Structure 1
């Protein structure tokens, strides 16, 4: 598995485009947002059903949006809270860089190495064709694994650092899978904000 350097910022892969901005936020900004979001968010711990088995999702989540339009994945339906002032500020900063508008953010809290997100794609019908996903990382650095659905040698990982931004574009959500894997190492919490645009299905 290839490990991309954090110095690289643009990856043009088969059926996908990735833009990685290592220092999208300063350390001070990232620290402030991490502390505030972790303390003020109404975290959910939903049940998730995979292959007929139901168990607690291995992370905490929250959804914020500009409307009451629900968002669903893995048999979970979430109704958003209104954007907070700080989430709106982050969104506008990402929109200015990406030239893409977003109306929803899914916030994930990975409490330790046991929390994870299995192989998946953000390809729900609410996201439309070729969605752009902007992923902001706060807290503990975690490897982001991604692999092509059909090209076996296209399998990579990228370390997502505190205050970094990863933008996934093009056909990535249709041709690639990604995950945040479990680790046995003792690590600190991580918060991930994935901005997206829900459309009329």
Structure 2
């Protein structure tokens, strides 16, 4: 586990246009971050993610698990996924984040990266099941635990980019038109030797 010398300052928007990414800074103490990290590392039902790319089946290096209010069914990257009913400690953390952000969530997609050699490529979380049917917008609260990692954004149509180093206990919220106009990635780094857990709280709209 690595902690930076200086805590990140909250920022109302990391993006220059066409979206909103709020940085709440550290919402957990070092001790709380360590406790959650240790518990989730051992206590969640991790398994390698399965995807179909260009007609071929792959298992990713990173591990994932999805929790929610119900056993939701979700289709992405060519595969069907099913949510598990909330782990109680994860549910309590969701409720804490709801109080901080003022946004309600009904599911959490969790990612486990064993070290810096594991990341995720450029993508947007713009599936119809994650969009508010009334406004067409998506809200995702992303909490980092464990190793500090670089998180990057690039605009779909313009040359704009943004990046941030996410520390353990740090919360960002992607909302507005962010998923429509921006892609994001977790950059790989051979210098990072420790694991990171990323909890992405979302509202899932069953079809």
In the superposition, the TM-score normalised over structure 2's length comes to: 0.90
Corresponding position: 1:52 with 2:55 = yes
Q: Give the aligned partner of residue 146 of structure 1.
A: 153
Q: Are the aligned partners of 1:25 and 1:163 in contact in 2 as well (CA < 8 Å)?
A: yes
Q: Give the aligned partner of residue 21 of structure 1.
A: 24
Q: Give the aligned partner of residue 44 of structure 2.
A: 41
> Deviation at 1:184?
1.9
Q: Give the aligned partner of residue 191 of structure 1.
A: 197
> Deviation at 1:8?
4.5
Residues of 2 paired with 1:182 and 1:52: CA distance?
25
**Residues 1-201 of structure 1: pairs in structure 2 closer than 5 A:** 6-11=8-13, 13-128=16-131, 129-152=136-159, 154-201=160-207
Residues of 1 paired with 2:162 and 2:113: CA distance?
21
Over aligned residue pairs, what C-alpha RMSD do you find? Answer: 1.5
Residues of 2 paired with 1:40 and 1:8: CA distance?
30
Q: Are the aligned partners of 2:147 and 2:192 in contact in 1 as well (CA < 8 Å)?
A: no
Q: Structure 2: where are the runs of 5+ without partners? A: 1-6
Deviations 1:18-71 (A, max 9, x none): 111221111111100000000011111133222333322131000000011112
Moved more, 74-83 or 109-118: 74-83
Residues of 2 paired with 1:76 and 1:146: CA distance?
25
Matched residue SS, 1:46: strand
Instruction: Decide whether aligned partners of structure 1 residues 148 and 87 sit closer, same or farther in structure 2, where only a CA change above 3 A counts.
Output: same
Residues of 1 paired with 2:141 and 2:126: CA distance?
14
Residues of 2 paired with 1:118 and 1:136: CA distance?
19
Q: When the two structures are aligned, how many residues end up with a matched partner? A: 196
Q: Are the aligned partners of 1:72 and 1:124 in contact in 2 as well (CA < 8 Å)?
A: no
Residues of 1 paired with 2:161 and 2:192: CA distance?
26
> Deviation at 1:151?
0.9
Moved more, 100-109 or 82-91: 82-91
